Structure 1
Amino acid sequence: MKFDNPEDIIQLTPLWEGERFSNGRPKVSEDVLKRMRKITLEEAWGPLWNRGYTFQFEGDFKIIHPDKIMVGRAVTAVMVPKRPDLHETLLNYGHEQEGRKGFFNQWVIDSLVEDDVVVVDMFDKVHLGTYVGGNLSTAISTRTKRGGAVVWGGIRDNQQVVEIEDINIYYRGSDPTAITDVTMVGMNVPTRIGKAICLPGDIVLGTPSGVIFIPPHLAELTVVQAEKSQVRDIFGFIRLKEGVYSTAQIDTAWTLDMWQDFMNWFDNDPTAAEYRHLSWEKELAEAQKSDSSGSNHDVRL
């Protein structure tokens, strides 16, 4: 076996058609990452759930900075309890054949680049299972700039880690012991985090409620749908305060007249300026079709 094998990563992510890193990991654009930081957990969850991705969220974590949002591209790792023959074989292979330095967790952190998030299945081990402490968390900050880590296991040096402001870490528990008696059996492979699954290159959205893993081929679609929901809500709040529409009108299918009202507001009101990269052709076409047929179908995505 090989760690961080490009052929395996490409095979695991066939639906991604965009740019990739040299190891084959999908590289969702910086623009999408930036926009992802402005959406809520529920806005990200809906498009995934509706497409059959029902095991992407896990919320049973402690959080270093519970008031901060974390967004980045996943770099995954799978750890298992130590079995001496397997442990020595894989550790020696990494050192001798792949030129890696230090212990397994250092291999993963040494591979990080800007906007990465470490996602590691530590099989919920906390005592003697502290994947990062002060030093490695500092290294994550230096390499990722604003990324972090999701650890289904332990961390240490919390008093030091909490002082690192530009990253976030989701973890199961704290312990003063160092990591030991564990072996990494996969790097950038499918990784189970509680009841969720994460693949290399998934977009990790960490919120106060927990973490959701967004497949790269659905990342832009998820952001677009979230942004459309946000700007429609802004318009709805304004019109409700003005007494133009009732809550029933806002919360159900919009008529063609309402869509025309919205588009006029969208094109001219300064409040909508940051959303003007969005296209509404599909929604308008559906509204026109419904109007001409006399039916009224909701065209929310």
Structure 2
Amino acid sequence: MMEMSRAELVRLTSAWTGDRFEDGRPRVPEDTLGRLAALTAEHAWHVLDENGYPYQYVGGWRSTQDRPLVGRAVTSQYLPIRPDLNDAVDAAGRDRGFAAGSQQNTWVVDSLVAGDVMVADIFGKVSEGTVIGDNLGSAVAVRTQAGAVIDGGVRDLTGLSSLTNANFYYRDTDPTPIRNVTLAGVNIPVRIGLTTVLPGDVVFGTRGGVTFIPPHLAEEIVRQGELIRDRDHFAKQRIAEGRYSSGEIDVPAWPEPIEEDFRAWSLARSTQ
């Protein structure tokens, strides 16, 4: 089982210059995560695209809750089982203190802390690719208060959906247990859909989609996203009031009188 050292993780995510977890993952501040939850996937994509990261959004999910998921990625990768590799991973797990015969997917769950999001690359496998059910889901919810993104299956959907303190994104459900796969790595780069995800990425789940945000861009996304959101609110309000037409508002750049009106509107809101 591959697992990067702290030094390797720091090198891998060197664009981030802020606080880090003991394992080396970037630790984006809680305030930034909380503000991000009020934005949309479009707000995030706009900034990501401007900075050369246009492929960080993955759609086509199901989720257990109709609310955002925000947290920091703990990545894991599973491969189709190969006996010699599986034996080596089991031995590595015992060396790390995991009980002989324990399920490898539980090792990842046991590593999670508050604010983490479990991100599992299981190559889209649903039947026998059910990384979590309601028991492990309960452990994820208690440990993270956030949830998981499973590029594969889940089981016990009724129980998972009852865990209102966490949100789980998944491809489909199946009654089979996870089997015939091997945990190949933890906190390594993984592929989710057509997106590369690094440990410590900010996971931003919205209705139907998940955006994986490089940590060093999270604050800029929040700052610009809040501005875009406010301008959208202003535009809709002024159109509804009949003050401006859609043709005056829906242009690449507003003329100065509208910009001046927006600044006054923003100031009034900030003092309320």
TM-score range normalised by the length of the shorter chain: over 0.9
Q: Is residue 2:6 matched to residue 1:6? A: yes
Q: Which amino acid in structure 1 is aligned with residue 263 of structure 2?
A: M
Residue 247 of structure 1 deviates from its aligned partner by 2.4
Which amino acid in 2 is paired with 1:142? V
Per the alignment, residue 290 of structure 1 pairs with: none
**In structure 2, what is the equivalent of residue 77 of structure 1?**
76
C-alpha change, 1:240 and 1:60, in structure 2 (3 Å) is closer
Query: How far is the alpha carbon of 1:185 from its aligned partner?
Result: 1.4
* Corresponding residue SS for 2:179: coil
Greater mean deviation of Cα atoms: 75-84 or 165-174: 165-174
1:100 paired to 2:104: no
Report the equivalent of 2:196: 197
SS at match of 2:129: strand
Partner of 1:289: none
**C-alpha separation between the residues in 2 aligned to 1:155 and 1:47?**
32
1:240-268 CA distance string (max 9 Å, x none): 33433332332221233333322222222
Structure with greater contact order relative to length (CA < 8 Å, sep ≥ 6): 2
Partner of 1:118: 118
* Separation in structure 1 between the aligned mates of residue 46 and residue 264 of structure 2, nearest angstrom: 28
Q: Which residue number corresponds to residue 64 of structure 2?
A: 64
Within 5 Å, give how 1:23-34 maps onto structure 2. Answer: 23-34=23-34
Counterpart of 2:112 in 1: which secondary structure?
coil
Write out aligned runs for 1:1-301 (5 A): 2-65=2-65, 67-96=66-95, 98-101=96-99, 102-145=102-145, 147-252=146-251, 253-269=253-269, 272=270
Normalised TM-score (structure 2)? 0.93
> What is the distance in 1 between the residues matched to 2:25 and 2:228?
30
Q: Deviations over 1:185-222 (max 9, x none)?
A: 11111111111221111111111121111111111111
Matched residue pairs, number? 269
User: Which residue identity does 1:30 align to in structure 2?
Assistant: E
Aligned partners of 1:231, 1:54: CA distance in 2, in Å? 23
Q: Secondary structure at the match of 1:173?
A: strand
Residues 100 and 11 of structure 1: is their aligned pair in 2 closer, same or farther, counting only changes over 3 Å? farther
- In 1, Cα distance between equivalents of 2:236 and 2:130: 47
Tell me the CA shift for residue 72 of structure 1: 0.9
Q: Which runs of 5+ in 2 are unaligned?
A: none
Runs of 4+ in 1 over 3 A off after TM superposition: 241-244
Larger radius of gyration: 1
- Aligned residue for 1:123, secondary structure, equals coil
Identity of counterpart residues, as a percentage?
A: 44
The change in CA–CA distance for 1:128 and 1:241 in structure 2 (over 3 A counts) is closer
Matched residues in 1 for 2:80 and 2:2: separation?
19
Offset of residue 22 of structure 1: 0.3
Which stretch of the first structure deviates more once superposed, 70-79 or 258-267? Answer: 258-267
Question: What is the alpha-carbon distance in structure 2 between the residues aligned to residue 191 and residue 171 of structure 1?
Answer: 16
TM-score of the pair, normalised by structure 1: 0.84
Taking the aligned partners of 2:25 and 2:98, their CA distance within structure 1 comes to 19
Q: CA RMSD in A?
A: 1.7
Q: Distance in 1 between matches of 2:237 and 2:174?
A: 50
Q: Which whole-Å CA distance do the structure 2 matches of 1:114 and 1:257 have between them?
A: 47
- Structure-1 separation of matches of 2:197 and 2:213: 8
